[in-house]
A and B are shown apart, each in its own frame.
Chain A
């Protein structure tokens, strides 16, 4: 199973009674915990308050002029001085805030009013409306904005409101596109289908299931758009195209610029107000985005975070043993891979380490297939990935060691897989067959290219030789027309074919160990049988060791020599395939085998006694 499912299953137990409506308040709380978020909220809040209470706070009317006191420096009456007409700068700044903020809101409001509904309809219904609205949007976006605004000013006169409505219309495509894309991504989600089956009207589906998806991006976008609107509007006014009878920051900036040599502070105050407001809006948008991005950040701590509970790794000793570790542990040289007391954990936000693999030991020899069986969240994939050195960056080895062909890839005391040691082995001596064949081939390159490149790099052979080899490999994995597959792109072949290609890739550099992570889970049953045949035939011919991670006991019975059963990160049972499948000793293995449908009487209860099918799902 994939990681996301693993972690979801692991994260299932949650304190009971937790309310779901906390979603929004946690966003708010995260926003307030972010210093930038608080700072931007404080700045924008105080500017808004100043603007709202401007009539009360301002000592003078916005256009009250004292001609006897022009370009005066700051004093007790005019605390920021006066401009060339003797008007009070502080008062004008306050009234200007009112007008500037309102016009920015108007602009965003107009843009949302046009873009949001149009985007919702176009995204949800697609079809003709989407086609037509796309044309309109393209036309709007190709219009030169500034020239349109100048034309509108020429036609309707210098009004802040009209120019901001026009700018709102011009900028509405950004909302339209944002909304349409978000809606398209959820339109075909199964929960929307389920709502349709429930008989919900389109309007309720959009309101309940679709709108919640676009809400957050719209808020973030609005913060950015409001900033742009302020900048554009002030820009127009700075050019002298604003309404000179109204006090706005742009008009003040223009006024200050004219007198920049006499009273430079006249330029400073409106510029500062604009910078604070726009900066605050941008920061707010970023902070909301950060708050919405799920998951709390885990603080990266220095070493020695391995908790006391881990008995297998003593952090104090770890430092010493790292250098003095012998290359080979005596008596283990003959195993191809040997995993000893391996533990893998993930540091949590509260400083503890969540173990996903705990005290796991096993070995695999050449020519042998070991099956690792378990359910999602059992740690089987994590074990395989630690052998491959492909654990996520935040994973830590919390105990034990891994030896490949006698050499440590994870030495006792290491807290990470040594990439340096593994990169020499990976692809060359250890290779990997993934679960999802399609997502493991790059759609941008031909299959041939993806087979040849690793061989040229790892084996150091020429391209022509590698090509010959690749064609031979494709024939070996049972592809009828290797030339055509070689030239094909991944989307041109079926899933079963893609898995054959990946198997060809895995054996291309003659590895000693192949790790196959659920290699047939994504395939149809008939294709699975073919791929299992192929794996068996190749393994016997090349005499390689295989670790097969799977949840399917049928696949185990088909391929494996030995089986290890894992549950919740621990190895519960290990033995030969016949022992485990016929006489499982552990309760858990018995439960798993008991859940198999093969050989059961149809229409009977599998695990529960009749009448108690509604038994509680055990908390994982």
Chain B
């Protein structure tokens, strides 16, 4: 009894409970801007939670709040049973072994003045690893993400977008973390590059059992990589569930609109989808009008 209770308490790697994030307003005594309202998510070991929503929906803010880069106004972020919502810098340093990030823009997430080797060795050095051991680890990492080993002494600008994103992934992997927050990691990449980088994410998860909080605006990407999907709209999670259900047969009107808005690469099926979308929009408008009439 106690054992099962223990394991059920332990089971989610990350749990976000009733999270609220507010940014203070610049104007004097103005109401603060509320970016996130009452967010509840969990991510288990080796699981991917896809977070989908449009720009300004708060999906990036949620990722940043987990990383400690956004202010937590209320609620809890619990990682491995510890509340980290207000972790100090020192606690964050310990935490960085288990919690890492891959940002959207591979052009600004790497310091242009540092060599790839130095960029990858940075998190290792913070944890006090010897330079020779760090160098060996950097070689392993480059190999793991499919970059040539002579990349160590090159600068970020010598690489294409896809290759830079591989460097960013290698940096996130350096300390063998348990959870990686991926903030739109493929949306700046070309289609074929995106496919290869998604393959890399899947392979890494298979090899290391890492969990992902995968933020994206693209429902197709999220469907492909996630076990479960949460849909965000205006700072709230409007729908959450298994990827297959949320991304194919959604319940919430917004998710339905999102699904039918993404075009398919075939003219006739796309024409069908377009018609479906127009029908859905008309239905939703009618419902709103009826609801207004009833009220």
Q: Which A residues fall within an 8 A CB radius of B?
A: 5, 8-9, 11-12, 14, 16-21, 23, 189-191, 193-202, 204, 208-209, 212-213, 375-376, 495, 524-529, 532-533, 551-558, 577-578, 581-582, 591-598, 600, 602-608, 610-611, 613-617, 619-620
B144 CB, min distance to chain A CBs, angstroms: 6
B288 CB, min distance to chain A CBs, angstroms: 15
* Residue from A8, A194, A212, A619 in contact with B103 in the complex, judged by beta carbons closer than 8 Å: A194
Residues of A within 8 A of B161 (CB): 5, 8-9, 376
Contact in complex: A598, B264 (CB < 8 Å): yes
Listed A/B pairs (8) with beta-carbon separation below 8 Å? A18-B154, A193-B101, A197-B99, A199-B94, A199-B123, A208-B114, A577-B267, A595-B195
* Residue from B113, B159, B263 in contact with A23 in the complex, judged by beta carbons closer than 8 Å: B113
Contact in complex: B192, A591 (CB < 8 Å): yes
* Residue from A554, A603, A615 in contact with B265 in the complex, judged by beta carbons closer than 8 Å: A554
Asked whether any CB of chain A lies closer than 8 Å to the CB of B9, the reply is no
* Residue from B122, B144, B218 in contact with A208 in the complex, judged by beta carbons closer than 8 Å: B122
* Residue from A21, A556, A591 in contact with B115 in the complex, judged by beta carbons closer than 8 Å: A21
Contact in complex: B146, A615 (CB < 8 Å): yes
Residues of B within 8 A of A605 (CB): 199, 202-203
Enumerate the 9 nearest inter-chain pairs by beta-carbon distance, A residue then B residue, closest first.
A554-B263, A613-B203, A199-B93, A20-B115, A553-B265, A614-B146, A595-B195, A190-B109, A199-B96
Residues of A within 8 A of B244 (CB): 602
How would residues 187 to 220 of chain B score, 1 for a CB under 8 Å from any chain A CB and 0 otherwise?
Answer: 0001111111011101110000000000001111
Residues of B within 8 A of A611 (CB): 203
Provide the main secondary structure of the chain B interface.
helix
How would residues 109 to 140 of chain B score, 1 for a CB under 8 Å from any chain A CB and 0 otherwise?
Answer: 11101111000001100110000000000000
Asked whether any CB of chain A lies closer than 8 Å to the CB of B258, the reply is yes
Contact in complex: B108, A597 (CB < 8 Å): no
Residues of B within 8 A of A551 (CB): 190-191
Closest to A605 in B: B199
How would residues 141 to 162 of chain B score, 1 for a CB under 8 Å from any chain A CB and 0 otherwise?
Answer: 0011111101001110111111
Asked whether any CB of chain A lies closer than 8 Å to the CB of B55, the reply is yes
Residue among A190, A204, A581, A611 with the most chain B CB within 10 A? A190
Contact in complex: A614, B150 (CB < 8 Å): no
CA of A591 to CA of B196, assembled, Å: 11
Contact in complex: A195, B122 (CB < 8 Å): yes
Contact in complex: B263, A558 (CB < 8 Å): yes
Asked whether any CB of chain A lies closer than 8 Å to the CB of B261, the reply is yes
Closest to A12 in B: B160
CA of A600 to CA of B224, assembled, Å: 8
B100 CB, min distance to chain A CBs, angstroms: 6
Contact in complex: B194, A8 (CB < 8 Å): no
Residues of A within 8 A of B68 (CB): 196-197
Contact in complex: A529, B110 (CB < 8 Å): no
Residues of B within 8 A of A554 (CB): 262-265, 270
Contact in complex: B89, A607 (CB < 8 Å): no
A426 CB, min distance to chain B CBs, angstroms: 30
CA of A196 to CA of B108, assembled, Å: 15
Contact in complex: B69, A597 (CB < 8 Å): no
Closest to A619 in B: B160
Interface size class of B (residues with CB under 8 A): 35 or more
* Residue from B94, B108, B191 in contact with A596 in the complex, judged by beta carbons closer than 8 Å: B191
Contact in complex: B261, A525 (CB < 8 Å): yes
Contact in complex: A597, B221 (CB < 8 Å): yes
A613 CB, min distance to chain B CBs, angstroms: 3
A564 CB, min distance to chain B CBs, angstroms: 16
With contacts A529-B277, A558-B263, A581-B267 known, is A12 near B163, CB below 8 A? yes
Residues of B within 8 A of A553 (CB): 191, 265
B160 CB, min distance to chain A CBs, angstroms: 4
With contacts A193-B69, A194-B109, A526-B257 known, is A18 near B265, CB below 8 A? no
B42 CB, min distance to chain A CBs, angstroms: 20
CA of A603 to CA of B244, assembled, Å: 11
CA of A557 to CA of B267, assembled, Å: 4
Q: Which B residues fall within an 8 A CB radius of A?
A: 54-55, 67-69, 89, 92-96, 99-101, 103-105, 107-111, 113-116, 122-123, 126-127, 143-148, 150, 153-155, 157-163, 166, 168, 171, 190-196, 198-200, 202-204, 217-221, 223-226, 243-244, 257-258, 260-270, 274, 277
CA of A603 to CA of B194, assembled, Å: 14
Residues of B within 8 A of A201 (CB): 89
Contact in complex: B154, A14 (CB < 8 Å): yes
With contacts A20-B155, A198-B126, A554-B263 known, is A191 near B146, CB below 8 A? no
CA of A208 to CA of B99, assembled, Å: 22
* Residue from A11, A20, A529, A594 in contact with B153 in the complex, judged by beta carbons closer than 8 Å: A20
CA of A339 to CA of B87, assembled, Å: 61
Q: Beyond the given A193-B109, A209-B111, please list 5 additional residue pairs across the A-B interface where CB-CB is below 8 A.
A: A16-B150, A19-B115, A525-B261, A554-B270, A594-B195
Residues of A within 8 A of B95 (CB): 199
A79 CB, min distance to chain B CBs, angstroms: 49
B90 CB, min distance to chain A CBs, angstroms: 9
Contact in complex: A603, B202 (CB < 8 Å): yes
Contact in complex: A606, B199 (CB < 8 Å): yes
Residues of B within 8 A of A194 (CB): 101, 103, 109, 168, 171
Closest to B151 in A: A16
Contact in complex: B220, A617 (CB < 8 Å): no
With contacts A595-B191, A596-B191, A606-B195 known, is A525 near B150, CB below 8 A? no
CA of A577 to CA of B274, assembled, Å: 17
With contacts A529-B261, A557-B265 known, is A375 near B122, CB below 8 A? no
Residues of A within 8 A of B115 (CB): 19-21
Residues of B within 8 A of A189 (CB): 108
Residues of A within 8 A of B114 (CB): 20, 208
Contact in complex: B265, A598 (CB < 8 Å): yes
Contact in complex: A616, B265 (CB < 8 Å): no
Residues of A within 8 A of B263 (CB): 528-529, 532, 552, 554-555, 557-558
Residues of A within 8 A of B101 (CB): 193-194, 197
CA of A525 to CA of B145, assembled, Å: 30
CA of A616 to CA of B199, assembled, Å: 12
Contact in complex: B191, A592 (CB < 8 Å): yes
CA of A202 to CA of B94, assembled, Å: 16
Contact in complex: A376, B190 (CB < 8 Å): yes
With contacts A199-B93, A525-B54, A582-B266 known, is A603 near B258, CB below 8 A? no
Residues of A within 8 A of B153 (CB): 17-21
A6 CB, min distance to chain B CBs, angstroms: 11
Contact in complex: B158, A18 (CB < 8 Å): yes
B185 CB, min distance to chain A CBs, angstroms: 12
Residues of B within 8 A of A5 (CB): 107, 161
Residues of A within 8 A of B171 (CB): 194, 198
With contacts A606-B199, A617-B196 known, is A526 near B243, CB below 8 A? no
Contact in complex: B265, A581 (CB < 8 Å): yes
Residues of A within 8 A of B195 (CB): 594-595, 597, 606-607
Closest to B175 in A: A198
Residues of A within 8 A of B264 (CB): 554, 557, 598
Closest to B101 in A: A197
* Residue from B67, B92, B113, B145 in contact with A212 in the complex, judged by beta carbons closer than 8 Å: B113
Residues of A within 8 A of B103 (CB): 190, 193-194
A595 CB, min distance to chain B CBs, angstroms: 4
Contact in complex: A557, B203 (CB < 8 Å): no
Residues of A within 8 A of B225 (CB): 602-603
CA of A540 to CA of B105, assembled, Å: 37
Closest to B67 in A: A197
Contact in complex: A8, B262 (CB < 8 Å): no
